[in-house]
Amino acid sequence: MSRETLDVLVIGGGITGAGISLDAAARGMKTGLVEMQDFAAGTSSRSTKLVHGGLRYLKQYEVGLVAEVGTERAIVYENAPHVTEPQWMLLPLVENGSFGKTSMSFGLKVYDRLAKVKKEEQRFMLNKEKTLEKEPLLRNEGLKGGGVYVEYRTDDARLTLETIKRSIEFGANPVNYARVEDFVYENGKAVAVKVKDTVNNKEYTIYANHIINAAGPWVDTLRKKDGSNFGKHLRLTKGIHLVFDRTRFPLRQATYFDTPDGRMAFAIPRDNKTYVGTTDTVYEADIASPRMTEEDRSYVLEISNYMFPELKLTKEDVESSWAGLRPLIYEEGKSASEISRKDEVFLSETGLISIAGGKLTGYRKMAEKAVDIVAERMNIHAPCPTEHIHLSGGAVDGSSGFDTYVKTQAYLGEQAGLSKDEAEQVIEFYGSNAPNVFAHIKKQKKDIEQAGLPLKLGGQILYALEEEMAVTPLDFFNRRAALLFFGMNEVDKWKEPVLAFMKKKAGWNETQAASFVEELETEIRYAKHTEEEVETESAVLS
C-alpha cells in the first residue's frame, strides 16, 4: 500500500471499517484498510452478538432507525447464513414492566411490519402457562404472559472477518496490527497517514485520495489528531456480558427481559452455554481495555437471579465474560441508555471522513453512507452493490439451502479424517470456506497429530494463520474460534499444545512467544475475574 496512492484508505477494522472496505472495493475503488489491533478487537467482538432492529428504540419513537436496521437483519442473514441465524426471542409480559399487553402486542406487530418480517416469522402472544412452558426458569411472580418474535443471533467477530475476507476478493488490502500514528497534509488536505506495523516495528506512509476514519470508540482520538473534533462528539458507554455453562443455567429460550431498575437485558442460549447482558454505564477510562468491575458482575448476577430466581447464580458460576464500549453520539442531558444508537458522519475541512455510532446490524448501510461520499467526490456513479454480495463463506445456496449444504458437504470433512459431527460443525462455522479448513487438515495431518491436537482444532489454527491473518494466540482463541467466551474449558485444556503448534507454524521468536503468551493469560484472567480481583491477585504475586 505504501508503494501506490489508494483511492480510499479506511482506518479501523471493526465491522464499520470492514463494511466500508467491501463496499468501496466492490465499487471498483482501490481500497486499503489498516487496523491497529486484530480485526474486530475493538467493539466488534464485544457486542450482545445480535443482528437486531432494537425493539426498545420503538419506545423512544425511533421509528426510522428501527425500520432501517430491522430490514437489514434479513439481508445480513441472507448474505452470511453461516454466521447469522434466526432466534425466536421471548419477551415476558410482567406487572409494571416496559410493556402492557396491548402495547407489547401492538409494538411487536409494528416491529415486524417495519422490519418487513416474513409471515412465518411474525410475532405471536402467549398466556402465562404457555410462557412458562417456553421457559420454565422464568420468575413466576408478576408474570402475565409473553410475546415471541424473531431476532438473529450472530458472531460479531466472525461477521467482521468474513466481510474483510470478502473485500479482499474484490481487490481490497486490509491489514491488522497497523496503527495510524498521524496524518500527512498537503495544502490543508489530509493526503496520507503514517502507519506503524506493531508486529515488526516498521513505519510506512500510505497515500490515499480519500481517508475514512471508522475507528469506533477511537473516532474522536483521530478527529483530534486531525484538528477537527468540533461540534458533536462521542460518548462511550460500557456493556458487559457473563457466560454460564448450560448445566448451571439451562436456559431453553432466548429472553429479553425487564430488569428491576427499569432497563432491559438479554439471556441467550448458545451451544452449551448461556450468556446474559448487558450493562450501560458511561465510560471514561482506557479505551483499549474496558474491564468487568465487581459492580458490573454483581449487577448482571442480580438481574439474572431476579428473572430466573431458582438458579441462585453466584460469581463462582461465571465461566467467562467480556466488556465492550459503545461509540455513541453525545446528546446533552440524556442518560447512557437514552442516547440514540443512530450513526453520524463528520466531514472535516481536511477532507477526512469520520463515521461513528450505529450498530453492528446496520453496518452495511453505514458503509454505504461513507462510500457514497467518496463516490461523489470521485465522480463515480456506482450504486452500493453490497445488498446482493454474500460474505466470505456465504456461498451456501442462500439461507434456505444452508442445512442441505451442510449435510451434503460433510463427506469432505470425513475424507480429511473428521467425524461426521465434527465435519458438520466446521461447515456450520465456516460455511463455504470449510473445504479450505479440511484441505489444511488433510495436508498437515501428521503435524497436527504430533502436536497432540484434535484434527478439527488443528485445521482451525492452520486456517486462521494462513487464511485469516491471525497473528497471536489471542487472535485465534478469541476472534477466530470464539472459544475465549464460549469454550473456556477448551481454552484451558488445549492452550499449551496450541501455543506450541502456533509458535512452530508462525515462526515466532522467543520474545514474541513470551509476549503473546502473557497477553493470552491476561485476557483469560480478565474473562474469568473482575478487574478488582485481577489487580488484587497481581499485587499479591508481586
Ligand X SMILES: Cc1cc2nc3c(=O)[nH]c(=O)nc-3n(C[C@H](O)[C@H](O)[C@H](O)COP(=O)(O)OP(=O)(O)OC[C@H]3O[C@@H](n4cnc5c(N)ncnc54)[C@H](O)[C@@H]3O)c2cc1C
Of 468, 458, 540, residue with least CA distance to 504: 458
- The pairing of strands 264-270 and 273-277 is antiparallel
293 lines the binding site for ligand X (CB under 6 A): no
CA distance 141 to 73: 34
Query: Which one among 31, 48, 163, 304 touches ligand X, defined by CB under 6 A?
Result: 48
Site for ligand X in 179-198 (CB under 6 A): 179-180
Measured from the CB atom, is 287 or 406 closer to ligand X? 287
72 grid coordinates = 437489514
CA distance 459 to 482: 15
CB of 379 to ligand X, least distance (A): 28
Q: Which stretch binds ligand X (CB under 6 A): 80-88, 212-220, 369-377, 394-402?
A: 212-220
Beta carbons within 10 angstroms of residue 82's beta carbon: 27
Measured from the CB atom, is 386 or 432 closer to ligand X? 386
Cα-Cα end-to-end distance for the chain: 44
Which is it for the CA torsion 135, 137, 139, 140, positive or negative?
Answer: positive
Please give the helix or strand (H or E) that residue 373 lies within, else none.
Answer: helix 363-378
Rounded to 10 degrees, the C-alpha dihedral 211/212/218/222 comes to 30
326 lines the binding site for ligand X (CB under 6 A): yes
Measured from the CB atom, is 275 or 501 closer to ligand X? 275
Question: Going residue by residue from 110 to 139, which x/- string records binding to ligand X, judged by CB under 6 A?
Answer: ------------------------------
Angle CA 325–213–356, to nearest 5: 40
Measured from the CB atom, is 12 or 393 closer to ligand X? 12
Measured from the CB atom, is 155 or 424 closer to ligand X? 155
CA distance 21 to 29: 9
Question: Going residue by residue from 250 to 289, which x/- string records binding to ligand X, judged by CB under 6 A?
Answer: ----------------------------x-----------
432 lines the binding site for ligand X (CB under 6 A): no
399 lines the binding site for ligand X (CB under 6 A): no
Q: Which stretch binds ligand X (CB under 6 A): 33-41, 254-262, 444-452, 499-507?
A: 33-41
CA distance 167 to 145: 46
235 lines the binding site for ligand X (CB under 6 A): no
Query: Which one among 10, 22, 31, 43 touches ligand X, defined by CB under 6 A?
Result: 43
CB of 188 to ligand X, least distance (A): 21
Q: Which residue has the cell 428491576?
A: 260
35 lines the binding site for ligand X (CB under 6 A): yes
214 lines the binding site for ligand X (CB under 6 A): yes
Site for ligand X in 305-324 (CB under 6 A): 324
- Is 495 exposed, middle or buried, given 0-12, 13-18 or 19+ CB atoms closer than 10 A? middle
Residues 251/363, Cβ–Cβ less than 8 Å: no
In this structure, what DSSP letter does residue 475 have? I
Of 239, 214, 268, 255, residue with least CA distance to 339: 239
Query: Which one among 99, 152, 218, 256 touches ligand X, defined by CB under 6 A?
Result: 218
Q: Which stretch binds ligand X (CB under 6 A): 47-55, 302-310, 417-425, 478-486?
A: 47-55
CA distance 272 to 483: 12
44 lines the binding site for ligand X (CB under 6 A): yes
15 lines the binding site for ligand X (CB under 6 A): yes
Residues 6+ apart with CB under 8 A from 531: 291, 292, 293, 294
CB of 32 to ligand X, least distance (A): 12
Please give the helix or strand (H or E) that residue 75 lies within, else none.
Answer: helix 63-79
Question: Going residue by residue from 488 to 527, which x/- string records binding to ligand X, judged by CB under 6 A?
Answer: ----------------------------------------
Helix 455-467 with 434-443: angle, nearest 10 deg: 110
Nearest 5°: phi and psi at 262?
Answer: 85, 10
Q: Which stretch binds ligand X (CB under 6 A): 44-52, 202-210, 299-307, 477-485?
A: 44-52
359 lines the binding site for ligand X (CB under 6 A): yes
17 lines the binding site for ligand X (CB under 6 A): yes
66 lines the binding site for ligand X (CB under 6 A): no
Binding-site ranges for ligand X (CB under 6 A): 11-17, 34-37, 41-44, 46-50, 52, 179-180, 214-218, 222, 239, 278, 324-327, 358-361
